Amino acid sequence: MRADLFAAHAALSRRSALGLAGAAALGVAGLAGASPAAATGPRGGGGGDAGGYDDEMFDVASAEGGGWAPSRYGAGDQRGTFNEVTAATTAAALQLLADGGPVRTYNLGELMTNGFPAFQTEPPRVYEQRLTVTGYQPPAGFVEGGGILQTTTPLGANKVSIHEERFPQGYTYQIVTQLDGLNHLGVGATFYNGFQGPDIATPTGTSKLGNEHMGPVVTRGVLLDVLGLKLEEGAGDALSESADGDPVLLDNYRITIADLEAAAERGGTGDIRPGDVVLLRTGWNRIARSDPERYLTQEPGIYLAESRYLADRRPAIIGSDTWGLEVLGNPVVEAVFPVHQELLVKNGIRIGEGVITDGLAEDGVFEFVYVTTPQYAQGATAGNAPPAALGQPGRRHRRRHG
């Protein structure tokens, strides 16, 4: 990694950049505008007028006033582009595996470990798991290290002992690998399909747009391996590396429409279809544990033109191996999470974050069956049950229909 980029990453964090706490302040530092690293580092091509898609900021007042409602799926809809995943869509996806060849199941989730880095809010997003013990004396230092001893006495004459986990510091679905719901981000008080925050917010969740409206999803998945593409092209100005020397996209690299189309061509996946799940590979997951400060300060990703290009194809989910999908710290960025607003609020497209696709890329599996079962939690804003992919290593599924 370049010394100037490393110095900028080490010096800048969302918590320290402006000396402010809370989601709003943290969101501004490094999200809108550029850090020193962003100003000097390559940033990828601009959205420009690529195929008629541009980076013009949407009319915030119009969006907040209901200009994006009703959605294409009708007033009152709470599923967004999950409506595109039909029985026929699922059946077509399963046909990818119909030739009887060997099928590998890929875990697309990041390993959940204590202290995993997360966007800072108050109360904080934390994952701190603790073990509870019932029925025996745990080892020395167990309680001092945060373990919870219920009792050393086993239950009943048959001496039942028990292990369970607890989260004394709290818990959130908005951490590690996650699928953002349509109630996660809004424009002011306005959320997907015109639902108003004051009408749907309750102390325990939202009365509309919650996880209970997701349901299991089985559909075609498409991997757009932008990291693999740039390595193959020898595009050094788009690349960096982790502390362990693993290649990653440059910290503030803007993935362009041309990149998306070239990655699709490279993978032989054909057109993105309604109901597909589109996953972007940047390699950014490789620095989460080794350099959490850098991981959270910036990230490679798409911006408004690319989000509009993808949204027009009506995928069920757009996901990435980064923590926030959209490019951060790039000079082109002029707002806080506008891609989230375009996808979630305007188009009803859920966002996958921290989706790990290295195994798929290593096996050359760019088209696969995507499976997810988000937590069936009323009013929740995300699910962090890891999705899975079913694919056939070594075989590239060419598109079977338009």
CATH number for the domain spanning 93: value is: 3.50.30.50
Residue 399 maps to a domain = no
**Mean per-residue pLDDT for 174-191?**
89
**Mean per-residue pLDDT for 227-248?**
96
Based on the domain organization, do 102 and 211 belong to the same domain?
A: yes
What percentage of the chain carries pLDDT values higher than 70?
Answer: 84
Which of 358, 343, 344 lies closest to 307 in space, CA to CA?
A: 343
Structural domain including 296 reads: 3-120+171-391
pLDDT of residue 373: 93
> Is 56 exposed, middle or buried (CB count within 10 Å of its CB: 0-12, 13-18, 19+)?
exposed
Based on the domain organization, do 228 and 293 belong to the same domain?
A: yes
Based on the domain organization, do 137 and 255 belong to the same domain?
A: no
Q: What are the tokens at 304?
A: 């408004």
Last residue of a domain, one of 166, 192, 226: 166
Based on the domain organization, do 339 and 387 belong to the same domain?
A: yes
How many structural domains are present in the chain?
2
**Mean per-residue pLDDT for 270-282?**
98
Strands, E assignment, 11-64: none
Based on the domain organization, do 206 and 235 belong to the same domain?
A: yes
Give the position of tokens 């949407």. 58
**Pairing, β 317-320 against β 277-281:** parallel
Based on the domain organization, do 198 and 279 belong to the same domain?
A: yes
Asked whether 279 and 269 are in contact (CB, 8 A), the reply is no
Residues in Cβ contact with 26 at an 8 Å cutoff, skipping those fewer than 6 apart: 14, 15, 20, 119, 120, 121
Based on the domain organization, do 21 and 156 belong to the same domain?
A: no
Residue 146 has pLDDT above 80, yes or no: yes
Residue 265 maps to a domain = yes
**Predicted confidence (pLDDT) per residue in 187-199, tens digit:** 999 999 999 999 9
**Mean per-residue pLDDT for 18-40?**
39
Q: What are the tokens at 305?
A: 């033109």
44: confidence class by pLDDT, cuts 50, 70, 90 = low
Based on the domain organization, do 40 and 140 belong to the same domain?
A: no
| HSE-up of residue 173 (Cα within 13 Å, Cβ side) | 22
pLDDT of residue 50: 66
Residue 135 maps to a domain = yes
**Mean per-residue pLDDT for 352-359?**
95
Residue 47 has pLDDT above 90, yes or no: no
pLDDT of residue 344: 97
Based on the domain organization, do 90 and 212 belong to the same domain?
A: yes
Residue 328 maps to a domain = yes
Residue 45 has pLDDT above 70, yes or no: no
Three-state DSSP class for residue 342: helix
Residue 364 maps to a domain = yes
Residue 402 maps to a domain = no
> Is 216 exposed, middle or buried (CB count within 10 Å of its CB: 0-12, 13-18, 19+)?
exposed
Based on the domain organization, do 244 and 384 belong to the same domain?
A: yes
Based on the domain organization, do 160 and 53 belong to the same domain?
A: no
Calculate ∠ Cα 385-25-167, nearest 5°: 35
